[in-house]
Amino acid sequence: MEQRALRADAARNVEQLRAAAIAAFRGRGLDTPLDEVAKAAGVSKATIYNRFGGRQGLIDAVIGELVAVEMTGAMERAAKVADPWERVAAYVTDCRDLHYREPVAGDVVMMRFPDSPELMRLCVAATDAGEEFMRQAHAAGVVRPDFTVGDLYHAFIEGCLALRHWPKPPREDYDRRTRFLLDGMRAR
């Protein structure tokens, strides 16, 4: 009977930690101090290590809810667009929108936590999708031949770094810069 109570407490702690981690990471990124997560969950930091093995396990437990659904949605929406230019433009726009709204998406793009298998799976899926969309756009001649998929990811990373380390620009300025990026990518 005592073991059941402990299991219920442990299950409650896990759910409290998951909820606290999602709340703490959302809008701030995956490097939010674990002390803050534990405090918000009403448990000790040691409980994170006992239940999740540390930051990596905690990230793996919440990354899906934080950004995987939205990132996967961006890939799926773009894949459904018939026109190769519109496909790339939709993907870039959706990704940049997510980067602006959710710093965790930037953590994924920048592979900030490479020991997290779930984060890395998401990063690889996004990279593969972007590479395929760019390959199709190049084949159709709608993207500048000298604009590479590497250029696209550097633009994403640079944007994510700027969002993380500089004051966040007004949304209209950010969207204008997305249009500049797209204009620079497009074949003339």
Cα separation, 76 vs 128, in Å, equals 12
**What was the pLDDT predicted at 1?**
37
Residues 61-86: tens digit of each pLDDT: 999 999 999 999 999 999 999 999 99
Q: Confidence class of residue 8 from pLDDT cuts 50, 70 and 90? A: confident
Q: What is the pTM of this model?
A: 0.89
Q: For the chain, which domains are there?
A: 2-185 (1.10.357.10)
